[in-house]
Amino acid sequence: MGKRAGFTLIELMLVIVIIGALAAMVVPRLAGRSEEARVGAAKADINGNLSLALRLYEVDNGRYPSTEQGLDALMQRPTAPPVPENWKGPYVEREPLDPWRRKYVYRYPGGHPPRDYDLLSLGPDGTESKDDIGNWQ
């Protein structure tokens, strides 16, 4: 009889153990990276995209949207008072959601200088707590 080609059970188990050891070393290093990326994306939205859209709204209308009008005022002309006279939107292309797929919290007037408004993401836990990401930080 000729020799059979293939892997023995011991060789297969050795490969599985090596792959498992490599995964055990790499996965913990990558696990926190996705959360860091989400925090970075929220900061970029708050300090960049949404901040610019709110400033454009304020330049056009002389004031920021009210808390009641919220960030929806950036997508469609508000009908609740104070109705903007010179609305030239939409100022954003789609509904502003944070990286955790929740609406940003917007308050005008805000309570955190140096901005006139507060804009924040509730972070990973979805509640107001120390992990929130705000425009005053």
Q: What is the pLDDT of residues 47-82, one digit of tens each?
A: 899 999 999 999 999 999 999 999 999 999 999 889
Q: How many of the other CB atoms lie within 10 Å of CB of 40?
A: 12
Q: In a 10 Å sphere around its CB, with 0-12 CB exposed, 13-18 middle and 19+ buried, how is residue 89 labelled?
A: middle
The phi-psi region of residue 95 (left if phi > 0; otherwise alpha if psi is between -120 and 50; otherwise beta) is beta
pLDDT tens-digit readout, 81-92? 899 999 998 999
Residue 16 has pLDDT above 90, yes or no: no
CATH architecture classification, 36-134: 2-Layer Sandwich (3.30)
H or E element in which residue 134 lies: strand 133-134
Q: Where are the domains of the chain?
A: 36-134
Residue 72 to residue 58: CA distance in whole angstroms: 14
